[in-house]
Amino acid sequence: MVDGTPDFGPNEVRSYLRVNGWAPVDGGDLAELWSLPGFADEVVLVPLKPGAPDFTKRVHILLNDLARIEAQEVRAVQDAITTVYHDVTDLRASHPSLSDGSIPLEAGYELFVSAKRLRVASAAATLRRQGHFRNFPARARDQAREVRIGQTRRGSYIVPIISQARSPLEVYTPGQRSIDANIEEVLFDRRVTATMSRALGVLQEMASAEREPTPSEITDSVGEGVSYELCQALAKIVNAESVNALDVSFNWSRVAAPPPGAPAQVTFDQDAIEIIDKVSTQLKTRTSTRQHLIYGVVTNLSRQPDDEDGRVGVRTLLQRRIRVVWMQLPPNLYHVAVRCHDEGVPVQVQGVLTSPSGGHATMEVSHFGPDPSLPLSEPLEL
């Protein structure tokens, strides 16, 4: 049942119904009727005025109707509506002794602390690729204050991390030529979750291989978001008392398609942690270069007929301010920039960033392409 005032509004309800096949059939300013095609007798009423005296009562009736129609628990339906614009990352600590749904205090503390460490390390890698951070960027540390932790659930012991995937409004229309600071803040959360998913996927592949990863493979993993801090966060959970494995499941928002190539679930046991400890040791001791990442849209293109390289401007968010970063691109990457510009596709750029106060921001580029954390409506032919 609904406890007090619902923690969602009409937009969340409408989005949930739409992605589950419902469609509006009638309504006005106070409420709407939605039906499920193929089930002529199934019609639900959606209240539209959160300030109305009977809003909570009407939401309670709606949740019970949906739970009956969808054969789910009312709490499950309520949670699904509440998080319809969010990604939910479930951290599940497992051990045969945890069958009663409890966990030792020390292990539980370590799970919550490591949830924060995993998120902050992934946020740092979303801003720049670096094997060992030592000091996280302030924007990465902010993640610990911006994401939420849901109620723990049974099933060994599950801690859900709730982060934004998109706003109730359209994130961007196709063919965009500008960016919005508020939307970029929402997209940053999705990019962090995508980084975490890919980085943990790479670690799982290295840990499950028949041989130990080579130094070059460990170095290459940094490009996917792996870092010493990420490895340490994993190790501290699995090495905690009464925990012998950690499963991480990524439940992507139903209204924002999953990032391409991001695994839905990864698992780490004691054997995997032995390999990850070796990865961690190399990342801590090796000398690493710092590669920044920026996300935005191509707004400027310039190349003379006799020039091989082209000058490109990407509008992005730096220090939470919208700025244009300038870069010289070789012919193959300039071609990619032109296609992304013509199609209005957001880009991800990696390289060495110079951003003087009051001067032009520039980047020496090592990678340029479509933003992999955002799915494309149509594949971009490069």
Residues 6+ apart with CB under 8 A from 305: none
Of 6, 126, 106, residue with least CA distance to 56: 6
pLDDT score, position 271: 93
Of 261, 327, 318, 333, residue with least CA distance to 299: 327
Q: To which residue do tokens 């089930």 refer?
A: 39
Of all helices (H) and strands (E), which one includes residue 350?
strand 347-354
Residue 224 near residue 202, CB atoms below 8 Å:
yes
Specify the 3-state DSSP secondary structure of 160: strand
pLDDT score, position 349: 97
User: Which pLDDT tens digits describe the chain residue by residue (382 residues)?
Assistant: 455 678 899 999 999 999 999 999 998 999 999 999 875 678 999 999 998 999 999 999 999 999 999 999 999 899 999 999 999 999 998 877 666 777 888 888 889 999 999 999 999 999 999 999 989 999 999 988 889 998 887 777 899 999 988 755 556 666 667 888 888 888 899 999 999 999 999 999 999 998 999 999 999 999 999 999 999 999 999 988 778 899 999 999 988 888 888 899 999 999 999 999 999 999 998 766 789 999 999 999 999 988 999 999 999 999 888 999 999 999 999 999 999 999 888 999 999 999 888 789 999 999 999 998 876 544 444 4
pLDDT score, position 98: 63
pLDDT score, position 379: 45
Token readout for 195 is 């980084």
Cα–Cα distance for residue pair 31/51, rounded to 1 Å: 13
Neighbours of 186 (CB within 10 A): 19
Cα–Cα distance for residue pair 376/225, rounded to 1 Å: 22
pLDDT score, position 182: 82
